[in-house]
Homo-oligomer: A and B are copies of this chain.
Amino acid sequence: MSLIVQKYGGTSVGTVERIQAVADKVAKSYRSGNQLVVAVSAMSGETNRLIGLAKEIDDQPSLREMDVLVSTGEQVTIALLCMALAKVGIEARSYTGAQVRILTDSSHGKARIQAIDSHLIEADLNAGRVVVVAGFQGSDDSGNITTLGRGGSDTTAVALAAALKADECQIYTDVDGVYTTDPRVVSRARRLDKITFEEMLEMASQGSKILQIRSVEFAGKYNVPLRVMSSFEEGPGTLISLEDEDQMEKAVVSGIAFNRDEAKLTIRGIPDQPGVAYKVLGAISAANVEIDVIVQNVAKDNSATITFTVHRNDLAQAEALLRKIAEDLGAQEVDADDRIAKVSIVGVGMRSHAGVASQMFEALAQEGINIQLITTSEIKITVVIEERYLELAVRALHSGFELDTQDGNPS
């Protein structure tokens, strides 16, 4: 008998019919002999409806009261799912985050889980019941309702799996697994059977929206095997787990991630002296603009050039700040460019393979794609290129690193 934690997101429970379909999936797993804990999100659209009500009253409502408000979304789902389970003959019991209890800190809207009391859940499991838990929420040590922030239901599921020492945490979503890259861009993209936590993190941080980054970190930290599966189709999904010496060594690159939400800013001709990077980037950060890639070079005349990327929505604000900073520092010029894209190759295999970077740059050069920036981490190489070459670059890398399936269909 395995103990499995399943998580169903907002789309998977978006209507009464879908909740009934989830009940059928849960029932099937239960009847095949598993113990089951199910974490659910609010029905899709519900959280936005609630936020809309709040915004009618106040643009910046109290964060404590926002949590009281939006946490009702998952509470509705847990009750409906338990009813649907009862209807198919499965005894189930629902718990809000506060009831479990999922203890968090007091950062309303972005609370972090500190501890989970598993005794109620274990008692129900031992009595043969399925346990349904509201995702995304908990309560602090004063009993105030908290939420973990958007996507936090994944984190709830992983934290429950860790606390209960579950055999697997299954994240049901609207895709049937993690792909080598986005199948909308590369038709020969294929589903990965396995991927490591580290690789998944790098893929996720590059815009693969399947899993919330924090939940992958959490799963890695507690070594909870995580499986991404489709709510709507049968299939094994993708298992995310620790590196497996035998399996993983084969592929040098597991996937190609990309992102076109960013814009690039460059400041040139800064007198090169200690602290300029701080002066430039500190001022941007202080304005709550998140900075992604950062590259600094020194020119022949000893002046420095700093290039960094920000989210496109923040470009105007960041550019204005940067022009002011340039004036203060006596820098020569500021460039802004929002027609860029970021492309990364990700794979634990590249640790032990020299030449992966040059293979990447060669594949891009063969297509005549100019590289504007390069950054690397242990298991990822990222380049920034002109946006119009994005699809071409992704396809070139996907076939260059032998990720294409033979028949062109996802396996």
Indicate whether A16 sits within 8 Å of B65 (C-beta atoms), given known contacts A75-B72, A83-B58, A98-B98: no
Shortest distance from the beta carbon of A49 to any chain B beta carbon, whole Å: 10
Whether B69 pairs with A76 at a CB distance below 8 angstroms is yes
A86-94, A269-277, A282-290, A380-388 - interface stretch: A86-94
**Is A80 an interface residue when CB atoms closer than 8 A count as contact?**
yes
**Is A207 an interface residue when CB atoms closer than 8 A count as contact?**
no
- Residues of chain B lying within 8 A (CB to CB) of residue A82: 62, 65, 68
* Cβ contact of A57, chosen from B62, B87, B143, cutoff 8 A: B87
Indicate whether A57 sits within 8 Å of B72 (C-beta atoms), given known contacts A64-B93, A93-B64, A99-B143: no
The 0/1 profile, CB within 8 Å of B marked 1, for residues 314-326 of chain A is 0000000000000
CA distance A66 to B76 in the complex (A): 9
Shortest distance from the beta carbon of A53 to any chain B beta carbon, whole Å: 6
Instruction: For A144, give the chain B residue with the smallest CB separation.
Output: B99
Whether A79 pairs with B94 at a CB distance below 8 angstroms is no
CA distance A60 to B319 in the complex (A): 60
- Residues of chain B lying within 8 A (CB to CB) of residue A62: 82-83, 86
- Residues of chain B lying within 8 A (CB to CB) of residue A84: 57-58
Indicate whether A87 sits within 8 Å of B58 (C-beta atoms), given known contacts A53-B16, A79-B65, A82-B65: yes
- Residues of chain B lying within 8 A (CB to CB) of residue A54: 79-80, 83
Whether A78 pairs with B83 at a CB distance below 8 angstroms is no
Indicate whether A94 sits within 8 Å of B68 (C-beta atoms), given known contacts A86-B58, A87-B57: yes
Whether B79 pairs with A69 at a CB distance below 8 angstroms is yes
Indicate whether A76 sits within 8 Å of B61 (C-beta atoms), given known contacts A68-B94, A143-B99: no
Indicate whether A80 sits within 8 Å of B57 (C-beta atoms), given known contacts A62-B86, A75-B68, A93-B64: yes
CA distance A80 to B68 in the complex (A): 9
- Residues of chain B lying within 8 A (CB to CB) of residue A56: 16
Whether A68 pairs with B61 at a CB distance below 8 angstroms is no
- Residues of chain B lying within 8 A (CB to CB) of residue A293: none
Whether A50 pairs with B69 at a CB distance below 8 angstroms is no
**Is A19 an interface residue when CB atoms closer than 8 A count as contact?**
yes
- Residues of chain B lying within 8 A (CB to CB) of residue A238: none
- Residues of chain B lying within 8 A (CB to CB) of residue A64: 93-94
**Is A156 an interface residue when CB atoms closer than 8 A count as contact?**
no
- Show 16 residue pairs from A and B whose CB-CB distance is below 8 angstroms, ordered by the A residue: A16-B56, A54-B83, A57-B80, A57-B83, A58-B83, A58-B86, A61-B86, A64-B93, A65-B78, A65-B94, A68-B82, A68-B94, A71-B75, A96-B145, A98-B99, A99-B145
A-B residue pairs, 10 tightest by C-beta: A69-B79, A72-B72, A68-B79, A65-B79, A61-B83, A16-B56, A65-B82, A57-B83, A58-B87, A72-B75
If A53-B76, A62-B86, A65-B94 are given as contacts, then 13 extra A-B residue pairs at C-beta distance below 8 Å, sorted by A number, are A16-B53, A16-B56, A19-B57, A53-B80, A57-B84, A57-B87, A58-B84, A58-B87, A61-B86, A65-B80, A65-B86, A68-B79, A72-B76
